[in-house]
Amino acid sequence: MAAADLTTHPGHLARRLQQAHYLLWNTMVSEEITSPQFAVLNTLVAEPGLDQRTVGERVGLDRSTIAEVISRLSRRGLLDKVRDPQDGRRFLLRLTDEGVRTHRKLTVRTARMNQVFLAPLTAEERTVFFDLIRRVADAAEGLRNPGEPLVAPG
Amino acid sequence: MAAADLTTHPGHLARRLQQAHYLLWNTMVSEEITSPQFAVLNTLVAEPGLDQRTVGERVGLDRSTIAEVISRLSRRGLLDKVRDPQDGRRFLLRLTDEGVRTHRKLTVRTARMNQVFLAPLTAEERTVFFDLIRRVADAAEGLRNPGEPLVAPG
DNA sequence: CGGAAATAATCAGTGCCCTGATTAATTCGG
DNA sequence: CCGAATTAATCAGGGCACTGATTATTTCCG
């Protein structure tokens, strides 16, 4: 059988896109704080006091990965973890002052990086780019829980 | 400072897209062989006898990652590594019969999975999807080696 | 009230992904 | 010819991402 053309394989393209982004992030935004870590900081700026599981849900990280990311941010002193007095299973998360400062600094750099990253596309193409990726990702996400259909069953 | 909207951050979207793909691959293609591993098999079907570094270059994996992937495929008996008699630094890679059979089987399943993954998009949209991602990834790739401009310097 | 089911977090294990340092072999220049 | 630079591969180390199993706590129901 002939070899497949990977340039028409969405999974391969997705991986290459993420690698390219990782590289640019590393050089233009931060070598310490990663993009997923920034996503967590960003979520806690919008909604302080969320628990770990919910933060993971917001940014798209499973229970194990979010635990690791939170642990690193906590070790760096960017957020505090306190047990929920209402529910002893949960830990409530909140950024420290240092965490807020870091988020502010990285937000500016991230915006600059996105400009460079998207430079090859026109404004209209960027809109399409976001739309297409979001639709594909959302649809695949939806296949996860067959028990939770998007529309109520007849 | 207000929180950023991650749905307009290409890096975040790229990560979500890859996660969605990973999930679908796992359920529709294979739980043993991963997408990067398939990419390596695919490259060696097209060009048997390549060395490790070149395979990594073809599929977009750095020297460390390609070493790990090759090691796993070798352990599973899907490829053979022999030292290049012409250049003792290199190992030449070649699929085993089992490797070729595995590639053939997964090629069929991968095509089916891509259909499902891209189902939300029309044929024209798929073309645009590939084009936009490729352009962004290629451009970011090009920023890696500033010493190697795409056009000859004046 | 008290046991069963559900839920939040952790742990163990596997694999991808990168950088910087090291080792072995080849190539290049004097 | 021989030392210096280059190159292929490996190793150490850090981080992301998933699954399955376990632990602690809460909730649900008889």
Q: What is the per-residue pLDDT across A90-124, written as a single tens digit (0 to 9) for each?
A: 999 999 999 999 999 999 999 999 999 999 999 99
pLDDT at residue A25, rounded to an integer: 96
Contacts of A36 (CB under 8 A, 6+ apart): A59, A61, A65, A69, B15
Residue of A nearest to B132 (CA): A129
The rounded distance, in Å, linking the Cα atoms of A117 and A25 is 9
The rounded distance, in Å, linking the Cα atoms of B24 and B33 is 13
pLDDT at residue B145, rounded to an integer: 58
pLDDT at residue B148, rounded to an integer: 44
pTM of the predicted model over 0.75: yes
Consecutive H or E run containing A63: helix A63-75
User: Residues contacting strand C at CB < 7 A?
Assistant: A 15, 19, 22-23, 26, 51-53, 63-64, 67, 70-71, 87, 89-91; B 34, 36-37, 60-65, 68-69, 72, 87-89
Q: What is the per-residue pLDDT across A35-64, written as a single tens digit (0 to 9) for each?
A: 999 999 999 999 999 999 999 999 999 999
pLDDT at residue B151, rounded to an integer: 38
Q: For residue B150, what is the DSSP state? A: S
Token pair of B21 as six digits: 């793909």
Assess contact for B25 and A11: CB atoms under 8 A: yes
Q: What is the per-residue pLDDT across A118-147, written as a single tens digit (0 to 9) for each?
A: 999 999 999 999 999 999 999 998 877 554
pLDDT at residue A154, rounded to an integer: 26
pLDDT at residue A2, rounded to an integer: 85
Of A89, A88, A87, A91, nearest to A79 by C-alpha is A91
The rounded distance, in Å, linking the Cα atoms of A154 and A60 is 30
Residue of A nearest to B139 (CA): A120
Written as tens digits, the pLDDT of chain B (154 aa) is 689 999 999 999 999 999 999 999 999 999 999 999 999 999 999 999 999 999 999 999 999 999 999 999 999 999 999 999 999 999 999 999 999 999 999 999 999 999 999 999 999 999 999 999 999 999 998 877 554 444 333 2
Kindly determine whether residue A3 and residue B42, on different chains, have CB atoms separated by under 8 Å: yes
Q: What is the per-residue pLDDT across B121-131, written as a single tens digit (0 to 9) for each?
A: 999 999 999 99
Of A41, A117, A34, nearest to B140 by C-alpha is A117
- What domains sit in chain A, N to C, each tagged with a CATH number? 19-119 (1.10.10.10)
Token pair of A23 as six digits: 């590289």
